[in-house]
Amino acid sequence: MANWTNEAEAREQIKTLVAEYYHDFKEPMESKENFKPGDRVSYASRVYDEKEMQSLTDAMLDFWLTTGRFSKEFEKNFAEWIGVKFAHLVNSGSSANLIAFSVLTAPELGERQIKRGDEVITVACGFPTTITPILQYGAVPVFVDVTIPQYNIDTTQLEAALSSKTKAVMIAHTLGNPFDLKTVKAFCDKHNLWLIEDNCDALGTKYTIDGVTKYTGTWGDIGTSSFYPPHHMTMGEGGCVYTDNPLLNRLILSYRDWGRDCICVSGQDNMCGHRWDGQFGLLPKGYDHKYTYSHFGYNLKVTDLQAAVGVEQLKKFPGFIERRKHNWAKLRSSLETVQDKIILPVPAENSDPSWFGFLISVKPETGLDRNSVTKYVEEHNIQTRLLFSGNIIRQSCFDEIRGTDAYRVIGNLENSDYVVNNTFWVGVYPGMTDTMIDYMAKIIKEAVSR
């Protein structure tokens, strides 16, 4: 048996062994230094070392399986880093979007409460879970088109999308490239609309308005992030909802934690000293405040095991951002020689993107076919992805509501359809080396030049 004198010593010895395990068995597998052209190039992958494994082990030894000390540490550090007052972990980026929208349906918001039939402006070209909560709550998404080569909202359509029922704008930043926040925020301020920034694909992107630079996700009323493995940093699963608004913060906690009225965290009781003297709904006076529910909520908390990984990932995150920028710029420079055949991505004005991927649209007038290009690229062991749903109203999930008043469309969504037919993307994640980027560029150029 191990000769441990106390628990602290035992923990340190166990974590030392975990580090040795990483270096002996995991580090060689994760190393990209021996990459040879033709080896697999994934569009994304986790990037970690022994620190994440040690932190995960530390949480496992606590055996506090729900939200706990690591979650609190991450939320505090993340809020300070991104520049908001309040940040709360959830179990996925999709859940973050669900919570962000749910809180805007709360009666505490008075005239600004989103009710059934109210409208929310969004884009047709994006990820489904940006719009799913809108439909689930009986609100009406109003779809506008995107621009190319930014692949973000066409802000010239905002006024046409506005109606007396409009209550919010909920849109995502596309693959790290921010939408025109200056115009969108001015539009929301002018018409007293909520702004939800789906920041799941753009964590670490900076945007400047009138000389003020902030991270995306912090310009609107609520921001959301995802920590799924392909994203900018990972917890395996996980997400975050953040805001500067104290009322929205209180609502986020309620909807995330079963819809309850009490703000005591798990394992804490009677923090306010009034657990048994309140009056809620039609309940008898003094009903236990731990079991009073002011909203129809969920349990979408993260586990402390996930948060423990995130604590160490956040420390590495600035380096991740810089490597993503480097990889994106190198790939773009390499592909400039085939601009007559493909459309290369362009950063939004006033932005400093933290890139999630590298978007490419083939020019059909040259005779190129997107599927033939991606097939060639994939045959050479390079992973490709499409721009999520493309034009989402063409997806089969719309079959039962297509042509109904469950949603509205502005214009003909011409660019969203262009994306469906001609656009794909490849990765620039921080685990990629220059050799991998060079190989990708070579194969893409071959694919469009055959």
Look at residue 32 in the predicted model and tell me its pLDDT.
61
If we measure between CA atoms, which residue out of 202, 215, 262, 227 comes closest to residue 95? 227
Which residue in the list 88, 173, 231, 232 is annotated as catalytic? 231
Sign of the CA dihedral with 114 first, then 116, 122, and 126 last: positive
Confidence of residue 143 (pLDDT cuts 50, 70, 90): very high
Q: d(Cα 321, Cα 233) in Å, to the nearest integer?
A: 10
Q: How far is CA 295 from CA 8, 132, 223, 262, in A?
A: 42, 19, 21, 11
Model confidence at 34: pLDDT above 90: no
What mean pLDDT value characterizes the chain?
96
Look at residue 450 in the predicted model and tell me its pLDDT.
86
Tens-place pLDDT, residues 155-189: 999 999 999 999 999 999 999 999 999 999 999 99
Look at residue 3 in the predicted model and tell me its pLDDT.
80
Look at residue 30 in the predicted model and tell me its pLDDT.
59
If we measure between CA atoms, which residue out of 222, 155, 218 comes closest to residue 194? 222
Indicate the helix (H) or strand (E) that contains 357. Answer: strand 357-362
Model confidence at 2: pLDDT above 90: no
Q: Is 380 a catalytic residue?
A: no
Look at residue 1 in the predicted model and tell me its pLDDT.
59
Look at residue 304 in the predicted model and tell me its pLDDT.
97
If we measure between CA atoms, which residue out of 273, 245, 275, 246 comes closest to residue 260? 275
Q: How far is CA 384 from CA 47, 204, 264, 370, 432, in A?
A: 19, 23, 45, 11, 15
Q: Is 159 exposed, middle or buried (0-12, 13-18, 19+ CB in 10 A)?
A: exposed
Model confidence at 328: pLDDT above 80: yes
Look at residue 27 in the predicted model and tell me its pLDDT.
85
Model confidence at 414: pLDDT above 80: yes
Q: What b/e readout covers 63-78, taking b as 16+ CB neighbours within 10 angstroms?
A: ebeebbebbebbbeeb
Tens-place pLDDT, residues 212-268: 999 999 999 999 999 999 999 999 999 999 999 999 999 999 999 999 998 877 777
